[in-house]
A = this chain, B = another copy of it.
Amino acid sequence: MNDLFLRACRGEAVERLPVWLMRQAGRYLPEYRAVREKADFLTLCRTPELAAEVTLQPVRILGVDAAILFADILLPLEAMGAELQFVKGDGPSFPNPVRTREDVARLRDPDVDETLGYVFDAMRLVRRELEGRIPVIGFGGTPWTLAAYLVEGGGSKHFDKLLAWSYADPEGLGVLLDRIADVSIAYLNRQVDAGAQALQLFDTWGGLLDLDRWRALALPPLRKIVQGIAGRVPLIYYVNGGGHLLEGMKELPVDVLSVDWRQPLSRVRQVVGSRTLQGNFDPAALLGPIPGIERRARQVIEEGRGGGHIMNLGHGILPMTPVENAKAFVNAVQSTPAPPLPA
């Protein structure tokens, strides 16, 4: 069994860095697009055989060191009673956004087995197929990020309705965040029951907040989730555009901090110390020539010196990425010795 990923999560020494890619099961793979021709996005998420199939594609094609279950962060909101649509080209949409305390009161506290059982089924299928060769990561969105979509009614340029609420009635928004945290705890624990060997929390929109507001709004439900997982598996916290949040992230008791590409890891280390980091290869660099990719991969490995490091991108792989470039990236990491851990 290749346990490089789990050892790195725990801050243990590794011969070389483990590597996987955010959104590694995705549109840049012709094999993924072929599955999507047969099924729309939500059908793919809800059909365990298909979700398992696309989860395993990058394992086979790229030879990554961890699989991450194919699913969508918004599924638990649908389980809470929010109608969810994916309109082709436009991304997710909640036709009935949640914008008041009354809207929050109308949400359900779902039985996650009844509403999200297909995710756990997919997880079991993936574990069975992999036969322990590499670990499988489960995941969820953070309450702040899930609320962002639910309040706006989908993606947004400025998330002004969410932010308006956060200034006008932070306690009311807090009730929503807390309820999402509770559902997330049940959802993530059942992923672990079904076989997830680590969990990643995606905070796509955490970077909208300054540090004080992140501490006041995003952190309490995050802490609750971390407590609710109770150390069962390693936890990874990923935030996009969160260079200004590092001091807050440092205080979050998770095993791994995953950061975007905007700051070198050596800078991140100056704030967070020897904690295991994940990232932070610029996903756009995979669009350039392969020798540059290889050079840059070795550079990111060097920058990460001083603690555990799981190689990954700083954001999801871009749909226009050539598969051979993604392979070259994985190969470059896998053929480079890991820098030694600090004594």
Contacts and interface: CB of A to CB of B under 8 A. Distances in A.
Contacts of A161: 320
A79 to B, nearest CB: 27
Interface in A274-320: 282, 284-285, 287-289, 292, 315, 318-320
Interface stretch (A9-17, A124-132, A258-266, A326-334): A258-266
Contact of A284 (B167, B289, B315): B167
12 contacts: A163-B287, A164-B320, A166-B284, A167-B289, A167-B292, A168-B288, A207-B241, A210-B261, A210-B262, A210-B264, A211-B264, A243-B244
A168 B289 contact: yes
B210 A160 contact: no
A309 to B, nearest CB: 18
Most buried by B among A264, A284, A318: A284
A282 B158 CA distance: 12
Contacts of A210: 261-264, 282
A111 to B, nearest CB: 35
A209 B244 CA distance: 16
A164 B287 contact: yes
Contact of A288 (B167, B261, B315, B319): B167
Contacts of A284: 158, 160, 163-164, 166-167
A85 to B, nearest CB: 19
Given A158-B318, A160-B287, A243-B243, 13 more contacts: A158-B284, A160-B284, A163-B282, A163-B284, A164-B287, A164-B320, A167-B284, A167-B292, A207-B241, A207-B262, A210-B263, A210-B264, A244-B267
B244 A262 contact: yes
Contacts of A209: 262
Number of copies: 2
Q: How large is the interface on A (under 10, 10 to 19, 20 to 34, 35 or more residues)?
A: 20 to 34
A14 B180 CA distance: 48
A174 to B, nearest CB: 15
Contacts of A241: 207, 241
Contacts of A320: 160-161, 164
Contacts of A160: 284, 287, 318-320
Contact of A168 (B164, B167, B168, B287): B287
Contacts of A282: 163, 210
A49 to B, nearest CB: 30
Interface string A121-161: 00000000000000000000000000000000000001011
- List 6 A-B pairs, minimum CB-CB distance, nearest first: A167-B288, A163-B284, A164-B287, A244-B262, A160-B318, A244-B263
A119 B147 CA distance: 42
A267 B245 CA distance: 12
Interface string A204-227: 000101110000000000000000
Nearest to A280: B210
